[in-house]
Amino acid sequence: MRDRVHVVGIMAAGGAPPVARFRDGMRERGLVEGKNVVFHERIAHGDATRLAGFAQDMARLRVDLIAAVGAVTARAARAASTEVPIVYSVVVEPAGDDLASLSGDPLPNMTGVTTFDDGQAAAQIAMLRAVKPDLTRIAYLADAAVSDCLRSASMRAAQEAGLHAIVLRVVGPKPDLQMAFAKMREDGTQALVALENPIIGVHASQIAERALSQNLPALFALEQAGAGGLLSYGTSLGQAAHRMAWQASRLLDGDAATELPIETLRCPDLVVDMRTACRLGLTIPPEVLRRAGRVIR
């Protein structure tokens, strides 16, 4: 069906980088903007209250397909239409987020890519303990607009590791980071995991600077490498969005969503920021450095 011009809506809860990777993937599959595809792009920059309006925009534009980055985005798209094909990426647990059947199969008009790794939360703790062996108290910073899937997995991992853990949920578009870090100080937090949530990614640099001011080693999602956190770990959201383009092209070619199983993409990588390690006065163990795909100096 490449002989016609397709209209594709792109919605993202966080920032623009995964959207760019999706566009790249579409171009590699012969869907070239200005030739046989038109994109309508809407990016919330962490403000989840805008997503319902974005989805209504897509319905009004009569798009042939909606590409949604993030579970909260995909849910907004689904609420707007049960007929327009929807493909998503950066979703932790599709069934738990009501984006798949209970058995994990695609919905009639929806399929996608998940990057969830059930071992990731334990790996995060192990890396933080490697750089801070006396770690007993940890905090998780989360976006209140998203589901509990990632928070719950993180808290289970902390409990299994014998750590005291707290979750601090902030609300976009202007999260109260001062309040969150004050609670960390009161609780005696020794390390921070900034969860892979939309509002966290948008404000990663501010979060990293506040963590440094409280002498907290902070671990971010891979996409936030370079924002100032000590460690960044996980599967690239850009890779997931790029893979989503393959599914999108299949849907535009006429395949049904139910014919495209939900894919799991797991290719974790680690980035270590030695500038931050220096500011924190920490020595990064050789085994952590060997694991790193990139070291920022």
Using alpha carbons, list the distances in angstroms from residue 183 to 33, 188, 214: 48, 9, 12
Dist CA 62 CA 77 (whole Å): 13
Dist CA 161 CA 279 (whole Å): 27
Q: What is the DSSP string of 190-213?
A: -EEEE-S-HHHHHTHHHHHHHHHH
Question: For residue 3, what pLDDT is reported?
Answer: 65
Question: For residue 116, what pLDDT is reported?
Answer: 83
Q: How many CB atoms lie within 10 A of CB 110?
A: 26
Answer yes or no: are the C-beta atoms of 36 and 2 closer than 8 Å: yes
Q: Which residues of the chain have pLDDT under 50?
A: none
Question: For residue 261, what pLDDT is reported?
Answer: 95
Using alpha carbons, list the distances in angstroms from residue 211 to 178, 267, 277: 11, 27, 12
Question: For residue 2, what pLDDT is reported?
Answer: 55
Question: For residue 213, what pLDDT is reported?
Answer: 97
Q: Strands 6-12 and 37-43, how do they pair?
A: parallel
Question: For residue 238, what pLDDT is reported?
Answer: 87
| Strand ranges across the sheet with 86-91 | 37-43, 6-12, 65-69, 86-91, 110-114, 263-264
